[in-house]
Amino acid sequence: MVGWEKGDKDEPLASSAENQIPIFPRMLLGFANLVKKNFSVAIDEMRKARELSGDATLMLAFLGDAYAAARKPEEARGILEELTARSRKEYVSAYLRARAYASLGDLDKAFELANEACERRDEVLILIKIDPSFVPYRSDPRYQALLKKIGLE
């Protein structure tokens, strides 16, 4: 931040961008391996993305997704506990937590949090229609009601 203090407004932006660049390939590799069901690789990539991000909430949530997809419920629930604890101190998207509960099969909690995300006008909620976490539950009346509430049906 020395450049910023001297009035160089581009320096912190450039250093911040440089620090972020490695995160996204790791995250994308994690998602690609989730799709391929290479769960151990997906988890490793999401862990690296989390570490590179400085423990960003989004990367933490994606690591929880990887654990849930890998059928590692204890690890996924541990991540959910971290997200819930963070939500008491800072903003954490209710939708990110809803996704994790949906992946774990806890539909009551998933829909409770998805509705909370709707009430808070969480912009990420618009992804629910294409989100793989919710695909198995598209026939659930709560899913259909939520889509109508959001304006996606």
**Three-state SS across 32-84?**
HHHHCCCHHHHHHHHHHHHHHCCCCHHHHHHHHHHHHHCCCHHHHHHHHHHHH
CA–CA separation, 121 and 95 (whole Å):
10
- Is the pLDDT confidence value at 20 over 80? no
The per-residue pLDDT for 17 is 45
- Burial of 146 (C-beta count, 10 Å sphere; 0-12/13-18/19+): buried
Residues 102-123: what's their mean pLDDT? 93
CA 77 to the chain's CA centroid: 14
The per-residue pLDDT for 110 is 93
Categorize the per-residue pLDDT at 11 as very low, low, confident or very high, splitting at 50, 70 and 90: very low
CA–CA separation, 75 and 134 (whole Å):
20
The per-residue pLDDT for 13 is 39
CA–CA separation, 120 and 56 (whole Å):
21
Q: Pick from 79, 42, 53: which is nearest to 64 by CA?
A: 79
Instruction: Express as a percent the part of the chain with pLDDT over 90.
Output: 60
CA 49 to the chain's CA centroid: 12
- Is the pLDDT confidence value at 14 over 60? no
Q: What is the mean pLDDT of the chain?
A: 85
User: Residues 127-132: contacts with CB within 8 Å, 24+ apart?
Assistant: 127/95, 128/95, 128/152, 131/99
- Is the pLDDT confidence value at 56 over 70? yes
DSSP code at position 123? G
Instruction: Express as a percent the part of the chain with pLDDT over 70.
Output: 86
Q: Pick from 109, 114, 105, 99: which is nearest to 145 by CA?
A: 114
